[in-house]
Structure 1
Amino acid sequence: MILEETIIKYCNGQCTNEEKEAIEERLESDSSLREQVFEIRKIIELERDIAECRSYDVEGAFHKLPIKQKKTDRVLILTRSMLKYAAMFILPFVMGLFVMYYAKNITSRDVGSTEIYAPIGARLKYELPDKSTVYLNSGSRLSFSTNFNHGKRKVKLKGEGYFEVTANKRSPFYVETEDGSSVYVYGTKFNVSAYSDDSFVETVLVEGCVNYESKSGKTIAKLKPGHRLVYNKLNHNVDIEKTNVEEKTGWRRGKFIFRNKPLSEITKMLSRYYNIDILIDSSVKQDYLFRATFRQENIYQILDYLSLSAPIQWLNIESKPIDSTDFRKRIIIKHK
């Protein structure tokens, strides 16, 4: 039996190598332990946000706080900035309620729609009304209406999500992306990557069958397990090929898996997850390919490993201001 104290140390990256190996061996087969680690990490992330808030310009931040509110929506959005403001103005016992709210994914009960948001640097697991499960990657959003279970089941995705859809032949499940195209299934497991700053939408099928639908509602492709579909948002072309499913979906278990992946793609993934600008200097060759798996390593440990695998080095550079209360960290990768 693994003590909870040891699990907390593991989530903080403070356990010994022996403890780390023991926990990771259990994680492969123990779903309850994976859930426990997932929840602890979310709470740790929240505590870090609250700790950071004390260095912020409270008065300036308050005047910048947006007043807009959607009365018809029921929204679950716990962004970093909201937590920082909450930490400044709300009593400590109320902040304890925020921790419970954040860790248990409780949604407000107004009439309209629901939006779920995975904060930067975290991954979120959520159970939909039909008992389907979705995992959201860092910074991703998922929304659906209150009549989700009536007729076809439809969700809207911005970012990346892994879906385990409960089978229902009379009620298709649609994942609609920002460009208007959709993935629809009746019951299966699949991953969809639909970031706004990408020129494509990628769907990876783990098991079952996936249909891809254009904005006009026409089915343009079907996908088999172990394959990925790439839809080009600019020219509307569709490419289907075999893929490494574990590499594409390992993120939901807290893994970065790179299999002959170029540096440019790796830095894009790391930038999204850690909310850091990573620049690649023109002196760096673009044909470096990397093969590695990361679990608990932070951004700097990952960059150190990459620096050992190729003639590159990374340097912190001046932070880029986003507003008066927040600065986005910046890193540049140069040739050694």
Structure 2
Amino acid sequence: MNDKNLHIDNSGNPGEEEKFFGMSEPAYNKTKDEVLNNIFNEVESENQAFKTRRSYPLLYSAAAVILVLISVSLIMRFYTININSPRGEHMAYTLPDNSNVILNAESQLSFHPYWWFLTREVKLEGEAFFEVTKVEKFDVKSYMGTTSVLGTSFNVFARSNVYKVDCFTGKVKIKSNTREELILTPSYSAEVQDDGSIKLSKFSENKNEKDWVNNMFNFNAVPFKKVLAEVERQFNIKIETDITDEFIYTGNFSANRSIDETLNLLCKPFGLEYEKINNKVYRLK
């Protein structure tokens, strides 16, 4: 067995030794406090990132709730009930505040049920009789004006360019689209003119507030063409005629009679005759 001797030469240059060990020192030579601060900052950064990731679902949920609330509010505000009374029929309806309305033939009424107790507003095209309960606000709107009431019964006629209101009980305020206003008391009528002005007149004490509701239609110096238009609505027919607005009619007709009886009654004062084309069309001659 051969012995080998390990020999370390310490005779070298001492400066070389210091240089060697100096190069072997670690590059990361921060203090303990600095190391702890770095660790703390890294942990805090991770926590912030986690919180941010966790907050996204909460933000999405909040946005979804807000969107649902907005959608529900819009539905409640603009959802509309439409009541249509076709030709040849009258229709009765009770509004959310227990006010009653009767629609004449070929009339439409609409309102927003979920917004009712904030606005109490209906829109009318045609003719309707109202019996309104005592409330702070109740408006009937149409193309040519607005009727505001407080515990009253009244009739509104709103067809084409005609807007007329008859007050039977209580008080009614009429406002045209030109902002002209007029207060109606019982036995008075108001009609909005083409220029937005309002014409006031007193109707006969014999006028029944529910004449047309009971199928009785009265006319005083009215163009005969308008009378025939009412006949068309009540009997759901078409009347062909060449008569002009020079034909003026004063009288009445009952929709409880047959169409033949009604046309005979109306045509006789003018010396007119009629012929039946079919069950839905008549011609005056």
TM-score by length of 2: 0.65
How many residue pairs match? The answer is 210
Match of 1:129, SS?
Answer: coil
* Counterpart among 183, 187, 198 of residue 226 in structure 1: 187
Is the Cα contact below 8 Å between 2:223 and 2:245 reproduced in 1?
A: no
Label 1:116 to 1:310 Cα distance change in 2 as closer, same or farther (>3 A): same
**RMSD of the alignment, in Å?**
2.8
Q: Distance in 1 between matches of 2:208 and 2:220?
A: 7
1:183 correspondence with 2:143: no
Aligned-residue offset at 1:244: 3.8
Q: Distance in 1 between matches of 2:276 and 2:116?
A: 49
* Counterpart among 291, 295, 299 of residue 259 in structure 2: 299
* Counterpart among 100, 112, 137 of residue 145 in structure 1: 112
Q: Distance in 1 between matches of 2:138 and 2:220?
A: 31
Q: Distance in 1 between matches of 2:162 and 2:227?
A: 17
Aligned residue type for 1:215: N
Is the Cα contact below 8 Å between 1:211 and 1:219 reproduced in 2?
A: no
Label 1:229 to 1:288 Cα distance change in 2 as closer, same or farther (>3 A): closer
Aligned residue type for 1:174: D
Aligned-residue offset at 1:241: 0.5
1:73-123 residue CA offsets vs partner (Å, 9 max, x unmatched): 89xxxxxxxxxxxxxxxxxxxxxxxxxxxxxxxxxxxx9221111122110
* Counterpart among 181, 197, 209 of residue 237 in structure 1: 197
Is the Cα contact below 8 Å between 2:225 and 2:245 reproduced in 1?
A: no
Is the Cα contact below 8 Å between 2:87 and 2:234 reproduced in 1?
A: yes
Q: Distance in 1 between matches of 2:131 and 2:174?
A: 17
Matches of residues 65-104 of structure 1 in structure 2 within 5 Å?
none
Ranges in structure 2 where 5+ consecutive residues have no aligned partner: 1-73
Label 1:295 to 1:280 Cα distance change in 2 as closer, same or farther (>3 A): closer
Percent of residue pairs bearing the same amino acid type: 26
Aligned residue type for 1:172: K
Is the Cα contact below 8 Å between 1:247 and 1:259 reproduced in 2?
A: no
Label 1:253 to 1:148 Cα distance change in 2 as closer, same or farther (>3 A): farther
Is the Cα contact below 8 Å between 1:202 and 1:228 reproduced in 2?
A: yes
Aligned residue type for 1:176: K
Give the structure 2 partner of residue 117 of structure 1.
84
Give the structure 1 partner of residue 50 of structure 2.
none
TM-score by length of 1: 0.56
1:330 correspondence with 2:281: yes
Aligned-residue offset at 1:262: 4.4
* Counterpart among 206, 209, 213 of residue 175 in structure 2: 213
Is the Cα contact below 8 Å between 1:129 and 1:148 reproduced in 2?
A: no
Q: Distance in 1 between matches of 2:150 and 2:263?
A: 41
Aligned-residue offset at 1:260: 5.2
Aligned residue type for 1:251: W
Match of 1:135, SS?
Answer: strand
Label 1:331 to 1:293 Cα distance change in 2 as closer, same or farther (>3 A): closer
Label 1:248 to 1:268 Cα distance change in 2 as closer, same or farther (>3 A): farther
Is the Cα contact below 8 Å between 1:135 and 1:162 reproduced in 2?
A: yes
Ranges in structure 1 where 5+ consecutive residues have no aligned partner: 1-71, 75-110, 320-327
Based on CA coordinates, which of the two structures has the bigger radius of gyration? 2
